[in-house]
């Protein structure tokens, strides 16, 4: 059974960098795309981006300039960095495995437990 | 980006009811449409993928249909465990986008 466990700093000040990591258990990173998704009451669920074990990445245009996605195959982990955060980046952040074919994450399963991130001065 | 619109936003229901939730895409997405269930404090869980395929372990009272731009999630004989929020999500093209959710209330 595949399980994702995520962690990272939950309280940030404006302009700081959000850093989250997701460890994958029971599955190799190879053969899948690994996503980050965030959720707020106002904007709902928002896909941030994904990455493959080979390092291929894509991300949503509105965040692309601030997002860094990376993988560590030796640890079977993948990470998200979002720089220059503002209050608008306050959200619950989830990691998830993309199940699909080629570079398409056709659906997300499973998801990590979520990490609440608050950006406040 | 493809916009996903769900209706209704909320629904007052009862155990045993048949429920239908609709999701519309702003452009055709073939059958690249998934349905998730989210309970308070938890992460979303996939119920239906590629419009009509039932995820392993999901009860058969859940079913999905549709193609192109209009899709439905149907729950026959609602159970107490089904009171949750449901989201549709398109995977036709990145950025993958979600509907705003439909909350089933008792």
Contacts of A113 in chain B (CB under 8 A): 43
- Distance from the A111 Cα atom to the nearest Cα atom in chain B, whole angstroms: 6
pLDDT of residue A101: 78
- Percent of chain A clearing pLDDT 70 (strictly above): 100
pLDDT digits (tens, 9 = 90+) for B25-81: 999 999 999 999 999 999 999 999 999 999 999 999 999 999 999 999 999 999 999
pLDDT of residue A90: 98
* CB pair distance less than 8 Å for A47 and B96: yes
pLDDT of residue A23: 98
SS3 A87: helix
Nearest to B91 among A105, A111, A112 (CB): A105
Whether chain B has a CB inside 8 Å of the CB on A114: the answer is yes
pLDDT of residue A106: 87
**pLDDT > 90? residue A66:** yes
pLDDT digits (tens, 9 = 90+) for A90-113: 999 999 999 987 777 889 999 999
Maximum alpha-carbon separation in chain A: 42
Whether chain B has a CB inside 8 Å of the CB on A109: the answer is yes
Contacts of B32 in chain A (CB under 8 A): 106
**Looking at residues A68-80, what average pLDDT do you find?**
96
Q: How far apart are CA A70 and CA A84, in angstroms?
A: 18
pLDDT digits (tens, 9 = 90+) for B41-52: 999 999 999 999
Closest of B91, B78, B84 to residue B34, by C-alpha = B91
């Amino acid at each position: 059974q595949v399980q994702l466990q995520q962690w990272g700093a939950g309280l940030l000040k404006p302009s700081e960098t959000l850093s989250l990591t997701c460890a994958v258990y029971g599955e190799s990173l190879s053969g899948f795309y690994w996503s980050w998704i965030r959720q707020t009451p106002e904007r709902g669920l928002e896909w941030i981006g994904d990455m493959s074990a080979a390092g291929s990445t894509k991300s949503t245009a509105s965040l692309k300039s601030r997002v860094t996605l990376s993988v560590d195959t030796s640890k079977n982990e993948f990470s998200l960095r979002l720089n220059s955060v503002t209050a608008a980046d306050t959200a619950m952040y989830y990691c998830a495995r993309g199940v699909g074919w080629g570079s398409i994450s056709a659906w997300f399963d499973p998801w990590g437990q979520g990490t609440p991130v608050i950006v406040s001065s | 980006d493809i916009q996903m619109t769900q209706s209704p936003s909320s629904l007052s229901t009862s155990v045993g009811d048949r429920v239908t939730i609709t999701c519309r895409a702003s452009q055709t997405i073939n059958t690249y449409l998934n349905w998730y269930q989210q309970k308070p404090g938890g992460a979303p869980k996939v119920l239906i993928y590629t419009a009509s395929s039932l995820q392993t372990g999901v009860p058969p009272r859940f079913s999905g249909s549709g193609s192109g731009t209009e899709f439905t999630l149907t729950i026959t004989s609602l159970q107490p465990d089904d009171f949750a929020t449901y989201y549709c999500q398109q995977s036709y093209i990145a950025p993958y986008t979600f509907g705003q959710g439909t909350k089933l209330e008792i």
